[in-house]
Amino acid sequence: MKRTILLATAATVVAGAVAAQENVVNVYNWSDYIAEDTIEKFEAATGIKVVYDVFDSNEVLEAKMLTGSSGYDVVVPTSDFLQRQIAAGAYQPLDKSKLPNLANMDTDLMAGAAIYDPDNEYATIYMWGTTGIGYNVQAIADRLGEDYEVNSWDLVFNPEIVAKLADCGVTMLDAPTEIIPAAMNYLGLDPRSTDKADFEAGAALLETIRPSIRYFHSSQYINDLANGDICVAVGWSGDVFQALYRAEEAENGVEVGYVIPDEGALQWFDMMAIPVDAPHVDNAHTFINFIMDAQITADITNYVWYANGNAASIPMVDPDITGDPGIFPTEAASAKLWSSKVYDARTDRVVTRLWTKVKTGQ
Ligand code: N2P
């Protein structure tokens, strides 16, 4: 308290200099994406205070990064968005001499991330996952029969099937660059295509099923699935597992499942990066290096049920997690995953316009 007052007074004199000296790191991460004790442990280990904000949309983060002066020191864009933001000059190169824990990272996964960020110059992997289908096991069995196997995008993209589920609540992420390509893939088109006609075809399919969709939102579905308030969510792997776990904890009888459909799904990488105008660059490096500690990353994966890119952490990850094909896909499933593709500004406008149409149902 005393310190805050002191800073506030000094700030009126030399705002910039004081801000630079504040022992703070401003972190902007996805919601439901860190262990309960990570921040506490970081503060205890380093004496640096964490100011932690959350978002649930790459578009929201991107708007802040492209505007600049966000005040954030560490942010976590998905790799395709990262690529476009690097090109726009939104980030500063990592000072790898301050990141000894880079040695813990999985070289294959980092090579994958380097497709978006050559030589991993600007970012390192935080967590990765897939965009698949979360569902309420009993609600599906009640509506489609005990023998119905949930293993296909039919569940949400076949208009007749999804119509049978509309009453129990079907939701989708508000993530146009993930959902439209999933619809394109279902139609047999390349999910990485940037052809306008392909986007239009994907969006047309989404418009067909739109009457069966309760909402488009990227974080609300965790609690709703856990509570049995919805029965299907096109969502992110770890979030669905968090719903499963919350339902188990609540002992409310809701059984949640997650599937990477047989037709394939998006595999994405979320990356830690430092904005070009970050006020606390040293602290940002200290934070990123701390997260890459093997035990700290293992703790995060064990809490949020997302796979990570930290090879040294894997022995400390719960075998139930490393052994779950929904989190660490089998080789056969991996072969069907696609990676996200960066869109140029024009393509992005096409996708945004189509998405607005899908969402509003007009
Ligand atoms: C965590 C969502 C992170 C994954 N709630 C989105 N890339």
User: Is the CB of residue 239 below 6 angstroms from any atom belonging to ligand 1?
Assistant: yes
Residue 167: predicted pLDDT: 98
Give the CA angle between residues 88, 91, 97 to the nearest 5°: 145
Which residues, at least 6 apart from 340, have a Cβ–Cβ distance to it below 8 Å?
Answer: 78, 79, 80, 177, 178, 181, 192, 266, 268
- % of the chain surpassing 70 pLDDT: 94
Residue 6: predicted pLDDT: 44
- Residues 43-77 as b/e (b if ≥16 CB within 10 A, e otherwise) read eeebebbbeeeebbbbeebbebbeeeebebbbbbb
| Domain 24-128+268-327: CATH class, spelled out | alpha beta
Among protein residues, the one with the nearest Cα to ligand 1's atom 4 is: 236
User: Is the CB of residue 30 below 6 angstroms from any atom belonging to ligand 1?
Assistant: yes
- Pocket of ligand 1, candidates 28, 55, 56: which has the most ligand atoms within 8 Å of its Cβ, to mutate? 56
Residue 45: predicted pLDDT: 98
Given a cut of 50, whether residue 315 has pLDDT beyond it is: yes
Q: Do domains 24-128+268-327 and 130-267+339-360 have the same CATH topology?
A: yes
Given a cut of 80, whether residue 16 has pLDDT beyond it is: no
Instruction: Give, for 186, the enclosing helix (H) or strand (E).
Output: helix 176-186
Residue 50: predicted pLDDT: 98
pLDDT in tens, 111-148: 999 999 999 999 999 999 999 999 999 999 999 999 99
User: Taking the model in full, what pTM does it have?
Assistant: 0.93
Residue 222 token pair: 């965790």
- Which atom of ligand 1 lies closest to the CA of 239? 5
Tell me the CA–centroid distance for residue 185 and ligand 1, in Å: 21
Residue 213, amino acid: I
Residue 5: predicted pLDDT: 42
Residue 10: predicted pLDDT: 43
Residue 361: predicted pLDDT: 81
Q: What is the mean pLDDT of residues 145-156?
A: 98
Residue 17: predicted pLDDT: 53
* φ/ψ of residue 197, rounded to 5: -60, -35
Tell me the CA–centroid distance for residue 33 and ligand 1, in Å: 7
In the structure, what pLDDT confidence band is assigned to residue 3 with cuts at 50, 70 and 90?
very low
The least confident of 4-18, 26-40, 112-126, 180-194 is 4-18
Residue 199: predicted pLDDT: 98
CA distances from 182 to 47, 78, 123, 260 (A): 44, 17, 26, 12
Yes or no: say if 286 and 46 are a contact pair by the CB < 8 Å rule.
Answer: yes
Residue 12: predicted pLDDT: 44
In the structure, what pLDDT confidence band is assigned to residue 19 with cuts at 50, 70 and 90?
low
Domain ranges of the chain: 24-128+268-327, 130-267+339-360
Is residue 25 classed as helix, strand or coil in its secondary structure?
strand
Residue 22: predicted pLDDT: 84
Which pairing describes strands 266-273 and 215-216: parallel, antiparallel, or unpaired? unpaired
Residue 13: predicted pLDDT: 43
Given a cut of 90, whether residue 318 has pLDDT beyond it is: yes
- Which atom of ligand 1 lies closest to the CA of 58? 7
Domain formed by 130-267+339-360, architecture: 3-Layer(aba) Sandwich (3.40)
User: Is the CB of residue 220 below 6 angstroms from any atom belonging to ligand 1?
Assistant: no
Tell me the CA–centroid distance for residue 56 and ligand 1, in Å: 7
- 165 burial (CB, 10 Å; 0-12 / 13-18 / 19+) is buried
Among protein residues, the one with the nearest Cα to ligand 1's atom 3 is: 30
